[in-house]
Amino acid sequence: MRDSLERYAVYIKDLVKIFGRDVVAVDRLSLYVEPGEIYGLIGPNGSGKTTTLRIISTLLRPTSGEVYVFGINVIKDPIRVRSIINYLPEEAGAYRDLTGLDFIRFMLSLRFSGPRLIQAVEEAVSIADLGNDIKRPVRTYSKGMKRILALSTVLASKPRLLILDEPTSGLDVEKSIRVRDLILRYNREHQITIFLSSHNMLEVEYLCRRVGILYKGRLIAEGSPEDLKRITLSRNLEEVFVKKVAEIGS
């Protein structure tokens, strides 16, 4: 069983997460992500996207079900899982009194040391592209600057699996385009598997080889953006989503 699961970057079977007595955030979710793939989850607020990402990231225990990352059980062996993943939440914080450069150094020192740390810091500084602002305290940064700073550290860490919750949240159009190009570049050049969620369906369509649509905790459609559009006779993923939700309600 373990050997067969190792062929998947992420393997989820019958995942359930219930908060309190009766708030079902994730409802019998099953999906997989291939190594080297960019997989996107889309859906409205409250559909279970962030809950799913947090469970994969070992930050939240499921009520039931199975989740594996490269064959490692996220419940039974979370420390091993954390050693091969990195996670960027939608509201990623940064230490306000550190400079941008010191923040990068601190975050990457949790994973690297010596020459590898120096190399990763230089790479993150290049990704962030904040110029002299990298030497200013983070408390002086805009939301977009904080976002690109946090993103620079997770990309430069080059994990086997990178989990991104709303990766371009708070960014203007120009920076959003740059971030998408960086995500594609790191996926292709470093074979990083990427599992992301986004409200921006055009972004998901641009980045992802396969997409899962979540609604009320359930996976209501899955496939490549082109296949989903073709099957539903839709012009874009927004139309696909509207039609799939309508099918459930009819």
User: What per-residue confidence (pLDDT) applies to 250?
Assistant: 54
> In this structure, what token pair is assigned to residue 99?
């400079």
Average pLDDT of the chain, as a whole number: 94
249 pLDDT higher than 70: no
Q: Which of 101, 163, 160 lies closest to 126, judged by CA?
A: 101
1 pLDDT higher than 60: no
Q: How much of the chain exceeds pLDDT 70, in percent?
A: 98
Q: How large is the average pLDDT for residues 99-118?
A: 97
Q: pLDDT for 121-141, tens place per residue?
A: 999 999 999 999 999 999 999
User: What per-residue confidence (pLDDT) applies to 91?
Assistant: 82
User: What DSSP line would sit under 102-146, residue for residue?
Assistant: HHHHHHHHTT--HHHHHHHHHHHHHHH--GGGGGSBGGGS-HHHH
User: What per-residue confidence (pLDDT) applies to 96?
Assistant: 83
In this predicted structure, which of 46-50, 118-122, 193-197 has the lowest mean pLDDT? 46-50
- pTM of the complete model: 0.94
**77 Cβ contact list (under 8 Å, min separation 6):** none
Q: pLDDT for 177-235, tens place per residue?
A: 999 999 999 999 999 999 999 988 889 999 999 999 999 999 999 999 999 999 999 99
Neighbours of 83 (CB within 10 A): 12
111 pLDDT higher than 70: yes
> In this structure, what token pair is assigned to residue 6?
């190792």
> In this structure, what token pair is assigned to residue 84?
């091969």
CA distance linking residue 172 with residue 127, whole number of Å: 16
User: What per-residue confidence (pLDDT) applies to 81?
Assistant: 98
Q: What structural domains and CATH numbers belong to the chain?
A: 2-95+161-249 (3.40.50.300)
